[in-house]
Structure 1
C-alpha cells in the first residue's frame, strides 16, 4: 500500500520524498515528463559528448541548505565544484568587478568601498549557517540565532532604503547584479534579502556547480528514494487528485495555478480565490549554446568566474529590471551566463563546450531569446558569435510548457514581493497545509521560495509527519542512516 503520493519531481518533490521515505513511509512519485528532476535536468542537446543544463546550473543553496547538509551530496558521489570567483560583473568601460571566495580579496579590488564590503559581508559570513537557516525556514518560527537575524535584517533594511549605498561603480554593480536574482523591481526588500543571502554565501559555502551537470543532484535524491522503497511513475500527467486514489498523504510540488486545476471545486471558495490572486513575476528566457572555445571576454578576469552577470552599471540594472517587471520589452535585458567548463573541465569535449544563459524578460514573453542573449554576450565578449556552433532558445512562454510550475516563465514560482515572501502562497499558520485533509503543497510557491535547496519539500514533509504520524523528530537523511518508522 502507498502511504504518500507526490506529484512533481523537481528538487522539492524529491526532497519531500526523501524525507517521507526516510521516516519509513511507502512513497510513490508522479512526473508529467519522461525524466525526473524538474529544474535539475541535464541533457546533450547538440553533441552527445557535451551535456547542457536545461534549467538551473549553479547551486549556492545545494551547498548551504539544512536539507542538503544533512543529505550529504559529497558522500553520495556528487562533487560540488567551486570556482575561484563565484561571480563576476563586466562593466561597459572594459573593467570588471569580481566576488572571490575570500571577503578580504574581494574588498581589496573595490577601492574606496573595501571597508564597506567587508563590514557588509564579513558579519554575515561569520554566522553564515545561521543566516542561511533563517532565510530558508518556514518563515513562521523564531530564529535560533537572534544575532544573525539582526545582522541580516539591518542589512536588508539598509539596502532597501539606499542607506547602505556604495561609492564605486564596481561595488554597486557587483551587489546589484546579485540583487537582480530576485527577478523583480529594484530596490525592494525581497531583492535586498536575496542580495544578502547570495552575496554572503559566495564568501562562505560558495556558488558551486555539480560535476557533470545539475542532474547529478536529482539522480542522488532519486537513488535514495528508490533505496528506501519509493517508486517513480514518469510520463504520468496527473490531471485530477482523484487519479491518486485513497492515498492518505498527497504532497504537491506544483504551482497554485496547477493546484487549482488539480483540485477544482473541492477547494473552499475563499481559499480558491486566494490562490487565484497569487501573483507571478517576470519571466526567464533561456538560451543554450554549443561553442568551440571559452567565451572571449574583453576582461580576462571575467573568464575565471563561475557565474557572470551582464547588466552594465548599477543604474542600468535598475532600469532593466524595473522595465521588465513593468512588462516592457527592452533590447538590453539583464542576462546571466555560465560557462560550466571553466569550473568543471570535464564538461568540455575537446574544444567544444556548453554555454548556459538566460535573460530576464516580461511575464509570458514569446520571443526566441537566442539573438537577444547572443548580442548581450557579444557586447562584453567580441567574437563570441564566431565561436557558436549551435544554439537553442526557450522563450518565457515556452518555459511554462516545459515546466508548469514556471507560470509565464517565472522560474521563482511566484513574484518575490515582501508579502509573497512571508505569505506564500496564502496566509496560513502552516503554509504547507491546504483545506483538503492530507493534501499539502511543497513547491517553491511555499516558503522559503525558489532555488535548489529542497527546503520547501523537506518542511512540508515534516509538517505531514507531525500531523499524520505524530513524528516530531526529523528523520536522519545521511547515506548510511536508517528509517524512523
Structure 2
C-alpha cells in the first residue's frame, strides 16, 4: 500500500519549493531533513558567544524578487525585504571603490570615462531582464520565446568571457566592478560561465536590486514551510536517508541532494548507464567562510563602501583573475578575493543595539581544511584599517566543514557541481528533462540540476511540475497567497 503521494528528501529552498508545489496540487507530501532545523543553504543561526544572528550560507538574494517561482509564490508579500539603493560595491584600492546602484544612470555617472560603456552594456539587458531571467532559470534545451532579445546578452557574455573583456573599458574601476560580481560563480576568468553569471547578477542589481531578508535567510525558508504545512504537508527533521528503503512508500520521490548523493541513495534502482553518467558529473572549487560579530560597522577607508550591503574585496580585475587562477591551480591565493555582506546596516533585528554582523567567504581549493580567519581579516584590513579592533567574535567554516554542514556541497562546492560550460548543458546529465531519471517516480531537484546554485526555488519547481505531469496528470497549481491569508501576511510583514 502506498503511504504518501510524494516524499521529498532535503529541506533547502528547492526541496521546499517542490513540496509546496505538490501540496498546492492537493497531494500528500512529507519532507525529510537530515539536520535538526530546515533550510539547507538558507539557514540563519546564532554566534555562540554574542548571540548575533548570521546567515550560514546565502545572505543576499538577487533572485528572491526575480525568480518566476517566487514571483508566483508572492514571496515579497510573505517576507519583509530591504532593497538598498546600492546593490553592491567593489574595493579596488583602500581609497578607490566602484558602486553599482539600483539606478543604472547613477552608476554610470559615478564611473567616469567608463560610464557610457557601462550604460551601453546594461541598458538593453535591464530592458529585457524578464527574458534573461527566463533563459537563465530553465533548461538550456528550451527554445526561448524571444531569442533576438537575448542576442545582446549572449554577445556581452561572449565578450566578457574572452580575452577581449577589457576592450569596452578605459579605466580600472568599471572592469573591477564587473569582475567582482563575475567571481560569485567560482571559476577561472575570463570564461563564458563566469561572465554569463556575472552579467545576470549585475542586470538584476540595476533592475529589482539585491534584496536582504529581514531576520535572515531563514525567513524565506519559514515562509515556504508555513505554506507547505497550511496545505497539509509535513516536515520530519533529524532523519538521515541512506537508501530509498529508509523512506515511506510513495508514488513520487524527489531528492534535493547532490547528484553524487542521489547515485548512492538510489543505487539499487538506477540503471548502470545512468549511474555512470552521474559519476562523470564533476564538482568545483570551494568557499571558506568567516562570520564576524563586530562592535561597530567596518571602518572602510573609502566612504563609498560604508553604505553598501555587499562588497567585493578584490582589487583590480587582474588581481581577481589571478586569485581565481590560483584557486583553480589548487593554491590558496596570497591576495584572496573576499565577498562580504553587511546586513545589519539595513536589518537591526539581528543584533542588540550598536552591534553588527559581517558575513564573508573566500574561494579556496576543493576540500580545503584551512581556517581562513586570519587571511580574510588581513585582506579586509587592507581596505579598512582598524577592522581587527572591531572584532568581538568570529566563526570560521572551512570548505571541508561546509560539506559536513551541508552534504550537497561536495568538497565545499556550494554550487553542488562545477559551473562549467559543459555542465550548464549536462546538469547532471545530458537530457531534455534533467530533473527526471530513468526510474519512474524518481526525480532530483537540487542545484545539481538547472538552473544551478542560488536561492530561487526553480530547480524544485521544475522537478515538481515535471513529476505532476508525468506521474499524476496534473497541471501547475496556483501558488499565490490564499485570499484569506493576504491580509494576515501583509500584517506580519509590517
Question: Given that residues 4 and 248 in structure 2 are in contact (C-alpha distance below 8 angstroms), is that contact kept between their aligned partners in structure 1?
Answer: no
2:337 corresponds to which of 334, 338, 341: 334
> Cα offset for 1:330?
1.9
Say whether 1:288 aligns with 2:291: yes
Q: TM-score, normalised by structure 1?
A: 0.97
Deviation at 1:344, TM superposition (A): 1.8
Q: Where do residues 356-371 of structure 1 align in structure 2 (5 Å cutoff)? A: 356-371=359-374
Matched, 1:200 2:228: no
Aligned position for 1:388:
391
Matched, 1:343 2:346: yes
SS in 2 for 1:204: coil
Task: Give the distance between the partners of 1:72 and 1:325, measured in 2 at CA.
Answer: 39
- Pick one of 221, 225, 239 that aligns with 1:222: 225
Higher deviation after alignment, 160-169 or 52-61: 160-169
Q: Distance in 2 between matches of 1:149 and 1:74?
A: 27
Who is 1:155 aligned against? 156
CA distance in 1, matches of 2:50, 2:397: 20
Mapped contact 1:284–1:411 kept (Cα < 8 A): yes
How big is the shift at 1:315?
0.3
- 2:415–2:452 contact (8 Å) kept in structure 1: yes
SS in 2 for 1:29: strand
- Which residue number in structure 1 is paired with residue 260 of structure 2? 257
In the other structure, the counterpart of 1:186 is 189
The 1-side partners of 2:220 and 2:38 are apart by 11
Q: Which residue of 1 is the match for residue 306 of structure 2?
A: 303
Who is 1:324 aligned against?
Answer: 327
CA RMSD of aligned residues (A): 1.3
**Distance in 2 between the 1:131 and 1:446 partners?**
18
Question: Distance in 2 between the 1:35 and 1:93 partners?
Answer: 40
CA positional deviation for 1:93: 5.2
Greater CA deviation, 459-468 or 241-250?
Answer: 241-250
Distance, in Å, in 1 between the alignment partners of 2:165 and 2:51 is: 47
User: Structure 2: how far apart are the matches of 1:43 and 1:212?
Assistant: 10
Answer yes or no: is 1:441 the counterpart of 2:444. Answer: yes
Partner of 2:406: 403
TM-score (norm 2): 0.95
Task: Answer with 453-462 or 90-99: which moved more.
Answer: 90-99
Q: Does the Cα contact within 8 Å between 1:90 and 1:97 map onto a contact in 2?
A: yes
Structure 1 residue matching 2:396: 3-state secondary structure: strand
Moved over 3 A (4+): 46-49
Residue 103 of structure 1 corresponds to 104
Q: For residues 50 and 315 of structure 2, what CA distance do their matches in structure 1 show? A: 35
Q: CA deviation digits over 1:9-49, x for unaligned, max 9?
A: 01100111111111111100000000000011112213565
Q: Return the offset for 1:273.
A: 1.4
Aligned residues: 480
Match of residue 2 from structure 1: 4
Please give the alpha-carbon distance, in whole angstroms, between the structure 1 residues aligned to 2:143 and 2:483: 29
Instruction: Tell me how far 1:391 sits from its aligned partner.
Output: 0.6
Match of 1:43 in 2: 45
Pairwise CA distance, 1:164: 4.8
CA deviation profile, 1:203-261 (whole Å, cap 9, x unmatched) = 00111110111000000000000000000010001110111142110000000111122
Q: Is the Cα contact below 8 Å between 1:12 and 1:442 reproduced in 2?
A: yes
Distance 1:395 1:164, change over 3 A: closer
Aligned partner of residue 428 in structure 1, secondary structure: coil
**Counterpart position of 2:489:** none
Once the two structures are superposed, residues 121-177 of structure 1 have per-residue CA deviations (whole angstroms, 9 ceiling, x without a partner) of 111111111111111112221112223321211111111124452221000100001
Judge conservation of contact 2:314–2:338 (CA < 8 Å) in 1: yes
Q: Does 2:92 align with 1:94?
A: no
Once the two structures are TM-superposed, the CA of residue 331 in structure 1 deviates from its matched residue by 2.4
- Would you say the 8 A contact 1:46–1:290 is kept in 2? no
Contact 1:290–1:388 at 8 Å: present in 2 too?
yes
Match of 2:431 among 428, 433, 451: 428
Distance 1:211 1:148 in 2: 35
Q: Deviations over 1:367-387 (max 9, x none)?
A: 012112111111111111100
Judge which range, 59-68 or 42-51, deviates more: 42-51
Quick one: distance in 1 between partners of 2:422 and 2:483? 39
CA distance in 1, matches of 2:225, 2:50: 23
Distance 1:441-1:481 versus aligned 2 partners, 3 A rule: farther
Say which is worse superposed, 227-236 or 122-131, in terms of deviation. Answer: 122-131
Q: Find the partner of 2:377 among 374, 378, 389.
A: 374
- Residue 36 of structure 2, aligned match among 28, 34, 37: 34
Between 1:259-268 and 1:228-237, the stretch displaced more is 259-268
Distance 1:304 1:325 in 2: 32
Please give the alpha-carbon distance, in whole angstroms, between the structure 2 residues aligned to 1:278 and 1:14. 24
Gaps in structure 2 of 5+ consecutive residues:
485-494
How far the C-alpha of 1:343 sits from its partner, in A, is: 2.1
